[in-house]
Amino acid sequence: MEYNFREIEQKWQQQWKDSNAYKVSNESPKPKYYVLDMFPYPSGAGLHVGHPLGYIASDIYSRYKRLKGFNVLHPMGFDSFGLPAEQYALETGQHPAVTTEKNIETFKAQLDKIGFCYDWSREVRTSDPSYYKWTQKIFLDLFNSYFCHIQQKARPIADLIEKYKTQGNKNFTAAQWNAYSKAEQEAILMNRRLAFSSFGEVNWCEALGTVLANDEVVNGVSERGGHPVVKKKMRQWYLRITAYADRLLQGLETVQFSEPMKEMQRNWIGRSEGAEMQFAVGSGQLAINVYTTRPDTIFGVDFLVLAPEHTLVNQITTDSEKEKIEEYLTYVKSRSDRERMSEVKQITGCFTGAYATNPFNGKPIPVWIAEYVLAGYGTGAIMAVPCGDQRDFAFAKHFSIPITNIIGEHYNGEDANPTKEATLQNSDFLNGMLMKDAIAVAINKIEELGIGKRKVNYRMRDAGFSRQRYWGEPFPIVWQDETAIALAETDLPLELPYAEKYGPGPEGEGPLANMTDWVNFTPNPSPKERELQEPSEDKSEDLQTWGYMNSSYEEWRKTFEFAKQNRKNLTEAEDKIWQLVRNRNINDNKFRRQHPIAGFIPDFVCLERKLIVEIDGGYHDNEEQIVYDKARENWLKEFGFDIIRFTNEQVLNDINYVKKTIAERLEELAENAKSAQAPLPRRGGGEVSLRRETSTMPGYAGSSWYFLRYMDPTNTETFCVRKASDYWNQVDVYVGGTEHAVGHLLYSRMWTKVLYDLGYIGFEEPFKKLVNQGMIQGSSRFVYKLAWNLLVGDDVDSKKLINIFISKNFADKVNDGDLEAIKFLKEKAKEVLVKMNLSMDIFEISLYKTRVDVNFVNGNELDINQFREWRNNENYSAEFIYESDSKFLCEAEVEKMSKSKYNTVNPDELCNKYGADTFRMYEMFLGPVEQSKPWDTKGIEGVHRFLKKLWRLFFADISAVPSPVERGRGEAKWVDEKPTDAEYKILHKTIKKIEQDTENFSYNTAVAAFMISVNELADAKCYKKEILSAVLILLSPYAPHIAEELWHALGNEGSILDATYPTLEEKYLVEATKEYPVSINGKMRSAINLPTEATEEEAKQAVLSNEVILKWLEGKELKKFIFVKGRMINVVI
RNA sequence: GCCCCGGUGGUGAAAUUGGUAGACACGCAGGACUUAAAAUCCUGUUUACAGCAAUGUAAGUAACGGUUCAACUCCGUUCCGGGGCACCA
């Protein structure tokens, strides 16, 4: 029997699928374990070998934990909103929803091929309305919350409003607050909301009419097209992540992230302590507020620098400098933040003509602007101390600004010295103090003088949360002039409207702005909006305002609350009716669902025909409900509404009857004069102009909370029921790349903290442990093609490629100017010339480097035949110049893996060729999970050989059996005998190593351990069932298919997925002796065998009687004898 | 520029975290089986020098310097590669 991996893998994948082997329950007596991968963006290029690296690692861990007796949650989903799909839509006109769906199908098929143990019933897709409904809902929670500085947590904004109403705050009294207009109040509240709107700068490209990402801007122009890009202020949404800065820092102490990862987050948050202080400018009406972490250097301030965007720039610039400043501002506008910070060689800046005054010694200080000061950090203004700060120093030198030395000999005039250890000089009251001690003294003085205060500052800025794009979550926000109004939760999901065109909207708005029907929206007067509007004393106005209400506000409120309490989520029957009537399905009559009328919320209503359709759920049997229903019916009838009631059973059993009834009644009503149209909800453009928010949420919105949705993926009442999140709790192991170190990980940590504060979940950190997988880079291959310049008459023709390819080493010679090689190629080229019947001469030959598909290359050797056939036989008739050993070699370079570089390797092909088990183990064998490395397929044979060798422990190798008769029988090799101690030792050594390595995610060494183990078992000719079964269990997380197959071949019951992990028994591993390496002066010279329990004295005696050592000791004196028990011996002479 | 990571044979890498540098593989070379190929198995494989050989000596973990009985591992400086730097995901 042969190792037929294709058959085996297909069989078990099907079987696992059919038996729901990977389905996980939220209820189990076992302890829980949550293993999560960072979900992929389903790109059009499909899965490449880089994706599975982390997935395989987490899959192995999940399977391992399952064997160890845990109830393991291991889900997968798709981060399916994003720019590439939109870009693709722009180019091809295909709707992102369509391409995304297609890509996801491809991804899933590819993932399944590798045999992952995902519970697909829990799949999430961020672009699915049933998912982003909850992203929007959480956004509303953020919008409706503020950060309470006293409790250091998020609280409902209603609490703050209540406080303002009754107590006011330090800026206004309660009476003042209450007198503010709605818009004024909202503007104030906006300063506290966790999701808030404000103006911010974006990269604006006029020519493309769109906003660009930083990496789409290169040297001040757009990457595509090279059009100029400038900064533009736009209304943007933000998340107030800075409010959580301290808690995000503290939280790092409670999680198991790698130290560098924590360091990166700390640096990103960039907490610093210092002081903010004012420098009066000119005659003293204006003051520049600077932030500094080094107030001790205040007497070394030689100039101030403002960010070019600083609001004071215009006001302080003197007339004589106006022109230069304007010029400089134009220049800066074209520069990205990154460029501004990175180019250190190029020092730019401009003097404003203004002078500020040093508040301590009255010294006038010139005020400059320069691009190296960023508006977004601190106050956007710095005090420059050239003797202590390198950038200030370079600036001072460049513009010949005199430098004050306050640190004496610590400053050498050549470089700045940022020390805190120097003793201050030229520093008035700080003279003689150590700088680090002077910091506090200076701050105290600043506060005492009232010119500033102690201040904690963060480098981190509030997170920009809007994108001028189409393919993202729409904001559940409408604008009434400058006031943002949140939609009601009942209006969610606010679905992304279908787009025909994806181009940018006017004024840099997103594509949604082009959909005027959608943008100028009809306010379904939601209860939420009603709540926002205070009722007036004048009841007649109420009538107008509320449209359908003729009772008092209080009465409306009461009935509304009751209705709200009784409102249920869509039942099956309701859904059936909704599908029946929606979209003007019945004779073009528009129905609305749960549209409030006079405080009541009927199930379905057609306002144009004044027809209400109700379903009687079980709760209608309730006595109180019956009374309520009656009252409601009477009331609504008074308004001229007609009501049809169906029972649940009617709807579920006879939908045709329901349809017929509704259709008939509608027809009757159409003829009936009395059923004049009910007032429709107000439209925009009238008295109240409402406009939807047209930007969408960024990619990280959906990914900030997806780990919660997996716990309770189909819940329609809430994003994740508390019971589920309490059970699964934190993600125990989160696997993903370092490229998300600061973005995604910080955002999801913040969201988790907010949800915790608001009481939705019971834990504050989403990820208990983080494992970083390295990046698999592409290893691109290049070939050299010959090119010539011909002489046409006396002129040199332009360079043309000819169909001759040159192997790498030969090409290197040519490039190094090897005359022989060049001559050889010239001859070759002449032959071609002759063949082409050209009478011209060759002026010059050269080599042209071009990409080849890495899949045609084994190591560096090109498969000529595949290459010839590539791209429609493009190189079919090409000639090849080989190496001396008749191989054709390619040049290699490491780059990012990408389709356009022809360096992607598709896992499907490898799975087809070698099987998923081989592929899984090979990816792990490649190196440590967390290490980045270029992909290389060439070692995969070795792993495949290992699995075949494993197979031969179970079945005889038929190729070794000469006669067909013998092949037919006796293939199985295993025996049911008691293993020897030596065999147990092999097993338990393996158990120990595999368990350790699996726990530590050291999978490359685990694979090596399996190889060693199988080699040893083969050498020992051990075919004992007991040993083999245990090895299979150990192996099953790594190579599940072959393990399951052989597990059953051995006759074991049940799936190996649920087998019991073998227990390590140390007794088999005990050694009687240990071979100690003996070094002399740290260099290994010999080895001696000692009993494991040997003491230092015994060791010394043994060493001193060792021949080799004695030879080394000859004539020398033993200075020291070092004995590390169980490790080594070192003799110092 | 700033923050983080990495650099070990021809190649991917290993090294119990300061204790025998190169496990396990790939590749290569030689051999066995075979008419042959594939498959499989065996032997060798850091470099230099010496030796028929077992082996020995020296050097060696990007470069230089330091700490230590002992450094791939810790510290300092430099070089090179990768990731991130807020609208790629």
From the Cβ of A928, is strand B under 7 Å away?
yes
Task: Give the list of residues 6+ apart from residue A166 with CB closer than 8 angstroms, or none.
Answer: A174
Give residues 483-522 of chain A lying near strand B (Cβ < 7 A): none
Q: How far apart (Å, rounded) are the C-alpha atoms in residues A1065 and A545? A: 79
Residues 6+ apart with CB under 8 A from A220: A228, A229, A334, A335, A336, A339
Contact assessment for residue A606 and residue A589, using Cβ atoms and an 8 Å cutoff? yes
pLDDT at position A957 is 66
Token duo for residue A1053: 């019951």
CB A348 within 8 Å of CB A328: yes
Residue A238's DSSP bridge partners are A196, A464
Structure tokens, A1128 = 């080594």
**Protein A421 CA to nucleic acid B75 C1', in Å?**
20
Asked if the model's pLDDT at residue A55 lies above 50, the reply is yes
**Would the pLDDT of A531 be above 50?**
no
Distance CA(A129)–CA(A1036), nearest Å, equals 38
Q: Strand B closer than 7 Å to the CB of A374?
A: no
Q: Per-residue pLDDT for A968 more than 50?
A: no
Question: Rounded to an integer, what distance in angstroms lies between the CA atom of residue A1051 and that of residue A1010?
Answer: 22
pLDDT band at residue A564 using 50, 70 and 90 as cut-offs: low
Å from A995 (CA) to B19 (C1')?
25
**Is residue A1128's pLDDT more than 70?**
yes
Per the prediction, chain A carries an average pLDDT of: 85
List of E strands, A1031-1101: 1073-1080, 1083-1091
What tens digit of pLDDT does each residue of A882-936 get? 776 666 777 777 777 777 777 788 888 889 999 999 999 999 999 999 988 888 8
Higher pLDDT, A1117 or A195: A195
Rounded CA–C1' distance between A83 and B88, in angstroms: 7
Q: Are strands A611-616 and A642-647 parallel, antiparallel or unpaired?
A: parallel
Residue A461 contacts by C-beta under 8 Å, 6 or more apart in sequence? Answer: A242, A376, A377
Residues listed for chain A: 1133
Question: What is the pLDDT at residue A673?
Answer: 55
Q: A250 CA to B82 C1', in Å? A: 30
What pLDDT was estimated at residue A1125?
84
A1062-CA/B88-C1' distance, Å: 45
pLDDT at A882: 78
Q: Give the lowest-confidence range in A319-328, A667-676, A685-694, A704-713.
A: A685-694
Closest nt to A211 (CA→C1')? B87
pLDDT band for position A618 (cuts 50, 70, 90): low
Average pLDDT over residues A96-101: 93
Whether A609 shows a pLDDT value over 90: the answer reads: no
pLDDT for A775: 83
CA distances from A990 to A995, A1027, A1033, A1037 (A): 8, 11, 12, 14
| Structure tokens belonging to residue A1111 | 């030879």
pLDDT-derived band at A539, boundaries 50, 70, 90: very low
How many CB atoms are located within 10 Å of the residue A334 CB?
15
Per-residue pLDDT band for A858 (boundaries 50, 70, 90) equals low
Per DSSP, the residues of A124-180 read -BTTSHHHHHHHHHHHHHHHTEEEETTTTEEEEHHHHHHHHHHT--SSS-HHHHHHS
Would you place residue A682 in the very low, low, confident or very high pLDDT band (cuts 50, 70, 90)?
A: very low
pLDDT reported for residue A687: 39
pLDDT tier for residue A553 given thresholds of 50, 70 and 90: very low
pLDDT at A537: 46
Across the range A636-655, mean pLDDT stands at: 84
CB A403 within 8 A of CB A385: no
Q: In this predicted structure, what is the pLDDT of residue A125?
A: 96
Give percent of chain A above pLDDT 90.
Answer: 42
Token pair 């005696």 is found at A1101
A1085: nt with nearest C1' to CA: B20
Widest distance between CA atoms in chain A:
126
What pLDDT, on a 0 to 100 scale, did the predictor assign at position A568?
55
Element (H, E) at A424: none
The bases of strand B with some atom under 7 A from any protein CB are: 1-6, 11-16, 19-21, 23-27, 38-42, 57-58, 69-71, 81-89
How sure is the predictor about A963, in pLDDT bands with cuts at 50, 70 and 90? very low
In the prediction, which pLDDT does A903 show? 79
A34 and A732 in contact (C-beta within 8 Å)? yes
Predicted pLDDT of residue A341: 67
A1114 vs A46, A1084, A1102, A1130, CA distance in Å?
A: 69, 17, 16, 16
Q: Which residue has the higher pLDDT, A861 or A395?
A: A395
pLDDT surpasses 90 at A737: no
SS3 letters across A650-693:
HHHHCHHHHHHHHHHHHHHHHHCCCCCCCCCCCCCCCCCCEEEC
Asked if residue A170 keeps its beta carbon closer than 7 A to nucleic acid strand B, the reply is: no
For the ranges A249-253, A280-284, A964-968, the lowest mean pLDDT is seen at A964-968
Rounded to whole angstroms, how far apart are CA atoms A353 and A316? Answer: 8
Tokens 């010694």 belong to A361
Residue A124 has pLDDT above 80, yes or no: yes
**SS3 state of residue A1005:** helix
